[in-house]
Structure 1
Amino acid sequence: MIKKVLKGLTLALLSVLLVLPILSGSANAATNESNSSSQASSSSSSAITTGQEDSLAKIKQKGEIVLGTSPDYPPYEFMAKGKVVGMDVEIAKKIAKDMGVKLVIKKMSFDSLLVALQTGKVDMVISGVNPTAKRAKSVDFSKSYYKAGQYILVNKADKGVYKDMTSFSGKTLGAQTGSLPYNIAKKQAKNAKVKGMEQVSDLVIALKTHKVDGVVLDQPTAEAYAKNDSSIVAKDGKFKLGSSETSDVVALAKGSTSLRTQVNKSIDSIKSQNLVEKKYLKTAGSYMKVNTANTSMWHYWKYFATGVEYTIGVSAVSVVAGFILGILLAFMRLSKLRILKWLGTAYVEFVRGTPLMVQILFVYFGLGVIVNIPALLSGIIAVSLNSGAYVCEVIRGGIISIDKGQKEAARSLGMNAHDTMYSVVLPQAIRNIWPALGNEFVSLIKETSIVSIIGVSDMIYQLKIVQADTYRGVIPIFITMVLYFILTFTISRILRHYEIKMNKKVDTLV
């Protein structure tokens, strides 16, 4: 029984290695298909910029420009009808059209955007970015395409209590981590406690559940949320703002002079025709009206189904790869060769001593500087490497637990070291550690939720989209929680089934 399981896992790993390139490729294709605009018309100026700086030439050569954005900030960018829409997306389309290239959109958390830009994952970032002096040290900025103040969202019942930022003395203000509103609230609302969160949708939920007393947002975003949710209102924060703190710009990689020049030309055209006010904001508004027309969770079943699909895919591949890696590491740690033992121990200690989230970010952004690894594949690699370290210790403990007399008896029967380990020790070890191993596999399913930070469309990622799309917080969370329970409970039952079969076989032999 144990031998069959081991052989099955080995075959599964080989299948995974063959299918993985196809899986990552199809995921990229699907992402590009769903998040890309139609092919832009040819630009009247097709000449390629010459000289040392060739950022624009490279984009024209590959025929596409990759936009990084965090689609939870209406009316700038948000999800509607299964795609990223909003004022910033319309601006990106205009830039791509003027270049004569296709627009490809990559979705990720706001605090990952500039890192993605610096590591070459995206060509530009348009996501309500303000040109602060600190950011200017690592990226370049275009001209301003829009100016807006900073407002504060409050619950409707408290609209008479909170007038502006001075009313929040001793209270809690929420703002998106890494954003200008967060920094402004920290500096100017000195007597208020400022709480940062990654997603704007989470901040709105925190406001409605009284976890925070107000949420600092750009004026258009605050007004958009208030317009679509009668339980909250937008108030002018009356912050003291400089020119850079009211300007929204396009962020570009440092030193991309030719690309910035081209982007500025598009922005000049947008401003001369007043396209933001006349067209782009109205387009965003029309999508937001659609969003509030049907907020039933049944309407979003495809989002949850996609999340389940990606979660199962990442978990399945990571379980198999992590199990095989764990066996290899366990043998390294038990090896008599000092170098192998040292390498195995160093790997396990390092991986177990660093957070999985940091490992995922390193694989995606860190290794991405050398090799352009897709988000899905990066998530699978990081989770597999992390799982292998924990599985290693479980397996090593199981092998050590086998009585030495078992090995001695096998050797006395003429079995060599390899056969003794494969036919005697390992089968017993697997049976002994099966519950612990199963617990690791179940935990892995839940841990894969972290891959959403780099834009993998797992259940947590889809949860955020549904929250931002429907302005509803608790129900999407509850549905996601139930779906995770169904997955983990099913896996637990399957593992328990095999555990019973193994125990019955042992009892029969005895």
Structure 2
Amino acid sequence: MFNGLADFGTKLYQAFLFEDRWKLYLGGLGNTLAITLGAICISTVFGMVLCLMRLSKHQVLRWPAQAYIDIIRGIPVVVQLLIMYNVVLLNVTDNKMVVAIIAFGVNSSAYMAEIYRSGINAVDSGQMEAGRSLGLSRAQTMWHIIFPQAIKNCLPTYTSEFIVLVKETAVVGYIALVDLTKVYSSVQSLTYDATAPLLIIAVAYFIITKTLALIFAHMERRLQASDRR
């Protein structure tokens, strides 16, 4: 048993500390976080635009938004990534980081639009009537009354989408971009061991997602506390 633990400790050392291999993980982690943060910024904004189009009374706005959401949600994210890299942005940019951020941002925006829509629909319809009775326009009522309540409703599912996005970025290796997951193949080729690098990567992903969950849980508690005042 002790020999087994010592052997595993040696594998961990070779996979992480030997020849400063931790720098490989750090570089991959940086790329993973950069893609995730860039994509979530795009989807947060574009998702709201899609949501408002989806809720519009005008079919010329509502139908394209619905079609976009249906198409994006119906195609695997790795396929969208490859299409973006090999077709859409082929002659636009060769920066793989930019391609990945756009691809994941486009994908996440479809889900974010539905998250926003469900949050808005969860607000009592009487809130709109109350705002209009106070002399506010529809846009003013949405901004000052509906949106603040919808954000609280959306936060748990927004958190889930953020966490899912972190994990979905693991497929960027398909376009030869070195993220946290892709580091595994580099380290494994040096150590001839798969267990240690995979364990390190798994722990890193867990720490990222758990940290995000704690941050958003704290935000949710703060919002709930403000409601009780």
CA distance in structure 1 between the partners assigned to 2:77 and 2:56 by the alignment: 27
Structure 1 unaligned blocks of 5 or more: 1-293
Among 23, 36, 41, the residue aligned to 1:315: 36
Tell me how far apart the structure 2 counterparts of residues 380 and 455 of structure 1 sit (CA, whole Å). 14
**Distance between the aligned counterparts of 2:35 and 2:44, measured in 1?**
14
Which structure has more RCO (C-alpha within 8 Å, separation ≥ 6)? 2
Deviation of residue 409 (structure 1)?
0.6
The aligned residue for residue 298 of structure 1 is 17
State the 1:295 CA deviation: 3.1
Residue from 369, 372, 385 that aligns with 2:106: 385
- 1:196-345 equivalences under 5 Å are 295-299=14-18, 300-345=21-66
> Aligned in 2, Cα 1:379/1:424: closer, same or farther, shift over 3 Å?
same
* Cα RMSD after superposing both structures: 1.2
Which residue of the partner structure matches residue 88 of structure 2? Answer: 367
Partners of 1:360 and 1:382 within 8 A in 2: yes
CA distance in 2, matches of 1:346, 1:302: 43
Aligned to 2:70: 349
Alignment partner of 1:479 is 2:167: no
Is the 1:364–1:374 contact (alpha carbons within 8 Å) kept by the matching residues of 2? no
Alignment of structure 1 residues 463-474 onto 2, 5 Å = 463-474=184-195
1:296 deviates by: 4.3
1:426 aligns with 2:147: yes
Q: Decide whether the 8 Å contact of 2:122 with 2:150 is kept in 1.
A: yes
Contact 2:152 2:220 in 1 (8 A): yes
**Aligned pair 1:401/2:133, yes or no?**
no
Summarize deviations over 1:449-485 as a string: whole Å, max 9, x none: 1112112221011111111121111110010000000
- The corresponding residue for 1:454 is 175
Structure 1 residue aligned with 2:131: 410
Cα separation, 2, equivalents of 1:400 and 1:498: 22
Q: Which amino acid aligns with 1:473?
A: A
- The one-character-per-residue Cα deviations of 1:289-328 (angstroms, maximum 9, x if unpaired) are xxxxx93421210011111111111111111111111111
Partner amino acid, structure 2, of 1:364: Y
Judging by fraction of residues, say which structure has more strand. 1
Unaligned runs of 5+ in 2: 1-12
Question: Normalization by structure 2: what TM-score?
Answer: 0.91
Query: Could you tell me whether the CA contact under 8 Å between 1:431 and 1:499 is conserved in 2?
Result: yes
Separation in structure 1 between the aligned mates of residue 151 and residue 202 of structure 2, nearest angstrom:
31
| Amino acid in the other structure paired with 2:14 | T
Query: Deviation of residue 370 (structure 1)?
Result: 3.2
| Change in 2 beyond 3 A, CA 1:384/1:507 | same
Give the secondary-structure state (helix, strand or coil) at the position aligned to 1:472. coil
Deviation, structure 1 residue 372: 3.1
Question: Alpha-carbon deviation of 1:355?
Answer: 0.5
User: In the aligned structure 2, how far is the partner of 1:412 from the partner of 1:307?
Assistant: 54
Aligned equivalents of 2:102, 2:41: Cα separation in 1: 12
Q: Aligned residue for 2:8? A: none
One-letter amino acid matched to 1:451 = V
- Cα 1:350–1:502 change in 2 (3 A) is same
Q: What is the number of equivalent residue pairs in this alignment?
A: 215
Q: Flag as ranges the 4+ runs of structure 1 deviating above 6 A.
A: none
Higher helix proportion (structure 1 or 2):
2
2: CA distance, partners of 1:504 / 1:295: 48
**1:392-437 Cα distance to aligned partner (Å, 9 max, x none):** 1111011111111111111111111111001101110110121111
Equivalent residue for 2:10? none
Q: Deviations over 1:477-496 (max 9, x none)?
A: 01000000000001111101
Identity %: 35
1:462/1:505 Cα in 2 relative to 1: closer, same or farther (>3 Å)?
same
- In 1, Cα distance between the equivalents of 2:192 and 2:39? 33
Amino acid at match of 1:422: W
- How many angstroms does 1:369 deviate by? 3.8
